[in-house]
Amino acid sequence: MLNDIQSIKKLAGEEIEKADSLKAIQDLKIKYLGKKGLLTAKIKSLGSIPQEDRREYGRILNELKVYIEELIGRQERIFKTAELNKTLQKQRIDVTVPGFYMPTGHLHPTTQVLDEIINIFTSLGFNVEEGPEVELDFYNFEALNFPQDHPARDMQDTFFIGDDVVLRTHTSPVQVRVMEKNTPPLRVIAPGKVYRCDADVSHIPMFHQLEGFMVDKHITMSDLKGVLEVFIQMVFGAETKVRFRPSFFPFTEPSAEIDISCVICKGSGCNVCKNTGWLEILGAGMINPRVFEMAGYNPDEYTGFAFGMGIERVAMLKYGIDDIRLFYENDKRFLEQF
């Protein structure tokens, strides 16, 4: 028995020393210490040893077990560290290598200006509403007091889809749609795309407008002036002057066109404002009682104002852009400036 133990110790020592991989070590662990291992077998056979020697053999076998466990443990640690180092070496990140340039886009200038305008009006208590771009003649014209064959229909170069269906030429029809479904007080803006058969430096077939209106008892022209002045000075700066000029729209009475002092020359005269010192920015007026009637409101009870502006036009004035087509050509040299 003692001889056996000696040779197990010697063999285990040599084999563990020679093991050249983690796998080999783990195999040896099984070979000696596993359920059917060499040492385990010896420990199991203790029962057949005479009573008086059993204690001593037990001690020796236990010492050997501790000895082998330590040898294997040490080798295991060495191989595990080596393997870890190998993976770390392979997966090393060289933080000094220059990164890839990842260009990021940004919102289109039209969207930026539209968002800015919407934020101003929502901060003044206006709600955002939307209407369809394919619109009935009724909402685009009739209910806005453009009777059939009225010459004012010529002001808008309409794309017709059918006899009674058009691509909306402005966002004003949303006024009627909202009024039909709601009762005053109303404070609403309606941004969206509009379509006109027209194309030059200041006109394109599809562009953006924002309609705004307010309806309640006792709304007056001075409410309109107050709201528009706040809006214009927030977009163009507190020093911007605002001017109301009499005009005509079928759906407002009285109607006005609103000018701002020239953003380039501040009013002294330049070629942008054609030496007038003023730039036209939007149309507005008091909602025509005929429109209230068409929407089912009593014009003796309610009054209201409305205004409408082109978003690209506001952006052009704000940034001094002289050709509206730039907004739709997707030229990066243009877009990157915003």
281 forms part of the interface with ligand DAH (CB under 6 A): no
Which one of residues 172, 240, 261, 288 is an interface residue with ligand DAH (CB under 6 A)? 172
168 forms part of the interface with ligand DAH (CB under 6 A): no
H or E segment and range at residue 130: none
**Position with the least CB separation from ligand DAH:** 308
User: How many residues at the interface with ligand DAH, by CB under 6 A?
Assistant: 11
What's the rounded Cα separation, in Å, for the pair 63 and 1? 15
Which positions ≥6 away from 60 have C-beta within 8 Å? 2, 5
> Residue 28, class by beta-carbon neighbours within 10 Å (0-12 exposed, 13-18 middle, 19+ buried)?
buried
Nearer to ligand DAH (CB atom), residue 13 or residue 147 = 147
121 forms part of the interface with ligand DAH (CB under 6 A): no
Q: How far is CA 236 from CA 70, 241, 252, 273, 335, in A?
A: 81, 10, 26, 15, 21
Q: How far is the CB of 327 from ligand DAH (least distance, A)?
A: 18
What's the rounded Cα separation, in Å, for the pair 25 and 27? 5
Nearer to ligand DAH (CB atom), residue 191 or residue 285 = 285
Cβ contact 269:276 at 8 Å: yes
Nearer to ligand DAH (CB atom), residue 57 or residue 213 = 213
Going by C-alpha positions, the residue among 224, 166, 194 that lies closest to residue 310 is 194
Stretch that binds ligand DAH, among 70-78, 86-94, 96-104, 282-290 (CB under 6 A): 282-290
284 forms part of the interface with ligand DAH (CB under 6 A): yes
Cβ contact 265:272 at 8 Å: yes
Radius of gyration (C-alpha) of the chain in whole angstroms:
43
| Residue ranges in 238-257 that form contacts with ligand DAH under rule CB under 6 A | 249, 252
227 forms part of the interface with ligand DAH (CB under 6 A): no
Nearer to ligand DAH (CB atom), residue 17 or residue 200 = 200
Which one of residues 211, 215, 235, 242 is an interface residue with ligand DAH (CB under 6 A)? 211
Which residues of the shown chain bind ligand DAH in the complex (CB under 6 A)? 170, 172, 211, 249, 252, 283-285, 306-308
